[in-house]
Structure 1
């Protein structure tokens, strides 16, 4: 492991936590240059889905209401950036734990919270860059927003909020499982389950009735519907509270995820 240098301010200072967080986030971003596979792992799955499903099969899949399937699909593909970020973040945390980094941090005047917040902020920057690439490719293959700049930016903000919540899910998984092999398997299950038990690619109305409520309350469905609405892309009319109030459901579910994952992650880190 490379030599660790963390710039800190005097312990207990008013900006100690912020300085530690910035330094640790910078450390993770510098390491990305030596491990570009992490970035590729985040963007490749969404790009493959966008090109294979949205471009090659665009004429084979119809959207209820005669909507453009590429525009319908784009929000679902964008959400994949967040789901695909869970595994790399979890593995990064697990590798740091196994490599003795926790003991080294404990010997330094470094905020305990800053260690995990720095990890998630650096990964958020990486995911934001990945999202930008995915959206640019989407524009190249036919996706178009049909609303004003503020609504379009609002859609991106919803995606990034979802990404940040997923990063904390990844942190918690990494702290609890510790094994990269196990994390890889769990991450794949989460990616597939949350993607296909949602309206990311197809309307939930086509799912069996017994599983439809689960898909309707899936956070991915709420995020995707919110983005489609904000971008002016086709939205398949659903029934029930999640379909009628997607933004409210998105805000509530992401708040619950953060309220659960952040404290549990900090507690697991302190006990490590």
Structure 2
């Protein structure tokens, strides 16, 4: 006679935290293996940053000027770094909705697994992917003349702000992905492009119409871009608004606020699926 043993559920807070971390890593490892074994997705994610650098750096960059006569490609690269982090929302959305449509999410929910561990695993996998994308984008930037001038400390701080932004955006992607279909997730690029364009990604807000400039200056993406330009020592065109003068502070506060809102919403949404 075969006896099936059900694992004992953890009761104390340290046990629950360890449980969530262990299962989060298992889910993350599964997502990373799936990513590696899907050559189409891997190729697209690796080629896209290269295309963006070449297109904006050489095609559009030839017509752009930077205040003080700076190199436009050095002005551009921080914007492309942050834009890549923003576009990661679409990757998260597609992964979450695909798992839900194929029954993978329901299978996880039917097992004695930590609900926070499942969404944590998704975030770990996406952060690993984002680190790879940043490395490739940085290599492309170095190849076309971009440099950082404030030493390794400034470069690491800038990378930390970029990954903090990506971590915050992951939770927005998970929350939305648990509510929409794969078809809707595939169209996520449409609203993301305006969000990255109405910012200081490619031009200074001071060059935009008067009614549009405040929106660009207070865009969370603008805070990260302005902050990492400063940390990299790259040329920029700062404005005289409070948001422009406190970009580093906002580059920390915006992601923390998004995490505080959407992380618990994502866990709650996962727990309430199909109720």
Deviation at 1:260, TM superposition (A): 1.4
> Gaps spanning 5+ residues in structure 1: where?
1-7
Mapped partners of 2:176, 2:47: distance in 1:
22
| Matched-pair contact (CA < 8 Å) for 1:9–1:19 | no
The residue aligned with 2:80 is 77
| Pairing 1:87–2:85 present | no
When the two chains are superposed, the root-mean-square deviation of aligned CA atoms in Å is 1.7
Structure 1: 4+ residue segments shifted above 6 A? none
| Pairing 1:145–2:143 present | no
The structure with the larger Rg is 2
The residue aligned with 2:3 is none
| Matched-pair contact (CA < 8 Å) for 2:19–2:117 | no
Q: How does 1:215-254 map to 2 (within 5 A)?
A: 215-254=216-255
| Pairing 1:184–2:186 present | yes
Mapped partners of 1:40, 1:200: distance in 2:
25
The residue aligned with 1:3 is none
The residue aligned with 2:31 is 28
Q: 2:117 aligned to 100, 114, 119, which one?
A: 114
SS at match of 1:160: helix
Mapped partners of 2:169, 2:155: distance in 1:
22
The residue aligned with 1:11 is 9
Mapped partners of 1:84, 1:150: distance in 2:
26
The residue aligned with 2:214 is 213
| Matched-pair contact (CA < 8 Å) for 2:92–2:177 | yes
Mapped partners of 1:100, 1:80: distance in 2:
32
Deviation at 1:44, TM superposition (A): 3.7
Mapped partners of 1:53, 1:141: distance in 2:
11
TM-score (norm 1): 0.91
Mapped partners of 2:243, 2:42: distance in 1:
32
SS at match of 1:146: coil
TM-aligned CA distance change 1:162 to 1:42, over 3 Å: farther
The residue aligned with 1:198 is 199
Number of residue-to-residue matches in the alignment: 263
Deviation at 1:106, TM superposition (A): 2.7
| Matched-pair contact (CA < 8 Å) for 2:96–2:178 | yes
Mapped partners of 2:76, 2:216: distance in 1:
16
| Matched-pair contact (CA < 8 Å) for 1:39–1:126 | no
SS at match of 1:239: coil
Q: Which segment is superposed worse, 48-57 or 68-77?
A: 48-57
The residue aligned with 2:157 is 154
The residue aligned with 1:130 is 133
| Pairing 1:168–2:171 present | yes
TM-score (norm 2): 0.90
TM-superposition CA deviations, 1:244-271 (whole Å, max 9, x none): 0001111111111111111111111111
> Gaps spanning 5+ residues in structure 2: where?
1-5
Mapped partners of 1:96, 1:58: distance in 2:
40
SS at match of 1:59: helix
